[in-house]
Amino acid sequence: MHQFLCLLLLCGVVHGLNNGLARTPPMGFLSWERFRCNLDCKTDPENCVSEHLYKSIADVIVAEGYRDLGYEYVNIDDCWPAEDRDSEGRLQPDPDRFPSGMKNLSQYMHSKGLKLGIYEDFGKKTCAGYPGSEFFLRTDANTFADWEIDLLKFDGCNSDPKDMDVGYPVMSKFLNLTKRPMLFSCEWPLYDHQPNYQAIRENCNIWRNYNDIQDSWDSVLSIINFYGQNKGNFAAVAGPGGFNDPDELIVGDFGLSYYQQKAQFGMWAMLASPLFISADLRNIKPEFKAILQNKRVIAINQDPLGAQATRLYEAGPIQVWLKPLAVNGTYAVAILNTDNQGMPTKVTLTPAQIGVPNPNGINITETFDNVHVGAFKPGQNFTIPINPTGIFLASVVPLS
């Protein structure tokens, strides 16, 4: 396959991504973490991977105000296809679980002002063992365009990672050649031990580069620390049109406390991450819905500068993160308390210690509840109590 892909490159087939999408991080729903590969539509019809699941989630996204806040993609993950391609080599959805077909499902989403995303894999088979796209890249790109798909999540199971530096750009080009705008979500760097992030950005809109998230604080914190280490300075390539993807939001699921859910949502906003909810929005508690619908936190994530926050430093269990915003001289700041010892930690800092040493001082406003913390001169201390495994998220505006 590698020689075939290289021939495509030499023939000028591949010139990189140019689809005008993901000018800010995409938002929506992705089924994997919460619904996995549940095929049991006989005894669990509400939660199996089926057109009913995605339509019912879409209905809630519209009715409960998520769409109007920017959550527009409804993304199918693995386990949707039939076990075999059709007689012409095309993918086909499982006929029992998607009896109306994928084009019908995409049109259902479009009728509600939403977009439909789908999953495939660069290898012979998907991670769950369904037909992969190896040797069918162009066929599958054309199939997705025919189905009016709006996003492709492209995994890397059951493939040779050495082929990915050529294969992902080839698929990117084939998507472009369909003339249908499809956001390209890549898992290329996840399988590459030395990823070329500039090349990845040139060919993908978003890209996973770390382990799948699980429904636990340990999983969330491991992702945050990976992004804090920022190996190879991958934060620097994030911006309009292309973003690093730390994986789904698990706000509204089972494994996090209320404060941990706020911490994940706040940190994903700081990281300019795609905000793909993987929770059952049909049965979400009001306090968790309020986290996901916090307009001020979403505004940090959707800031048009598209900058990814970087971790300035760690001091024991305390992490300080800084994200430049589009309005000149303004920032978002996150102070994360990773301690789990049972009582809030009082953190005392100066403007310089949060990375904003403005000579005239700064104004700090907490983001989740829109509480004005105060105005502080350059050498002046301020003290913030932060709950265990919690976050202080704030906007910082320089004083003139």
Residues with catalytic function = 155, 212
Nearest by Cα to 237 from 268, 196, 276, 270: 196
Q: Hey, is 392 helix, strand or coil?
A: strand
Measuring CA to CA, how many Å separate 147 from each of 22, 28, 80, 293, 331? 21, 19, 14, 30, 41
Closest CA to 294 of 56, 60, 65, 115: 65
Phi first, then psi, for residue 268 (nearest 5°) are: -65, -35
Enclosing H/E stretch for 208: strand 206-208
Judging by DSSP bridges, how do beta strands 345-349 and 382-386 pair with one another? Answer: antiparallel
DSSP 257-280: -HHHHHHHHHHHHHTT--EEE-S-
Backbone angles phi, psi at 393, to 5 degrees: -115, 130
